[in-house]
């Protein structure tokens, strides 16, 4: 058997075939799902984001679409919720988990997908994913030229987070989720 740099020719062929197969797998476009049909979302999730999280992302995307936001705005909304609650509609926030206070020293009252405080609305509004997303997008829409800001900076201006770079790490995941949930829906 022929040896190439200490590897048999057959092992080199197998390794080459495996690498080609891996390249083909990574170049495949991700599966797309209809945003309006959460029952079609994969049980295995998308990029580590599981069914409940994808359902919440779908609500954010549909709310954004309904308010006239295209893909870039949808990504910003999903990024914000990823950074605030990991796309989980939670009934507790920063005060309960880490003792974070507002700049005036008062306890934070953040809840829901966007970890919105009392001034965003009632508990019911902040815990309703579509209403909370609508409140987020209404504020984003009032932000002049938000499309020209770094997405994390635009979110920071809406959410008033202590760190304007906090959301940046979620941009690729948010784009992947938005794109995966932007498949063709039956009937149009």
Is the pLDDT at 29 greater than 50? The verdict is no
Domain 33-180 is in which class?
mainly alpha
* Beta bridge partner(s), residue 116: 111
Tell me phi and psi for residue 106, to 5 degrees: -75, 160
Whether pTM exceeds 0.85? no
Secondary structure of residue 32 in the 3-state scheme:
coil
**Range 98-118 average pLDDT:** 78
Q: Residue 17: what pLDDT?
A: 47
What pLDDT, in 10s, does the model give residues 49-67? 999 999 999 999 999 999 9
pLDDT digits (tens, 9 = 90+) for 121-162: 999 999 999 999 999 999 999 999 999 999 999 999 999 888
- 177 backbone φψ class: left, alpha, beta (φ>0; ψ -120 to 50): alpha
Domain map of the chain by residue range? 1-30, 33-180
Give, in order, the Cα–Cα distances in Å from 63 to each of 19, 95, 113, 130, 167. 42, 28, 13, 6, 20
CA distances to 42, 53, 61, 89, 97 from 69, in Å: 25, 20, 9, 22, 32
């Amino acid at each position: 058997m022929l040896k190439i740099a200490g590897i048999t020719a057959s092992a080199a062929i197998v390794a080459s075939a495996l690498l080609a197969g891996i390249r083909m797998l990574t170049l495949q476009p991700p599966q797309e799902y209809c945003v309006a049909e959460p029952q079609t979302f994969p049980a295995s999730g998308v990029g580590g984001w599981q069914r409940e999280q994808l359902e919440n992302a779908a609500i954010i995307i549909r709310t954004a679409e309904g308010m006239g936001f295209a893909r870039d705005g949808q990504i910003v909304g999903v990024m914000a919720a990823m950074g605030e609650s990991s796309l989980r509609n939670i009934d507790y926030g920063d005060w309960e988990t880490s003792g974070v206070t507002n700049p005036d020293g008062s306890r934070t009252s953040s809840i829901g997908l966007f970890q919105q405080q009392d001034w965003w609305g009632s508990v019911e509004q902040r815990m309703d994913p579509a209403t909370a997303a609508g409140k987020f997008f209404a504020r984003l829409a009032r932000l002049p030229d938000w499309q020209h800001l770094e997405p994390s900076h635009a979110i920071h201006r809406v959410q008033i987070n202590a760190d304007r770079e906090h959301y940046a790490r979620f941009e690729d995941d948010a784009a992947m989720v938005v794109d995966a949930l932007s498949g063709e829906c039956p009937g149009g």
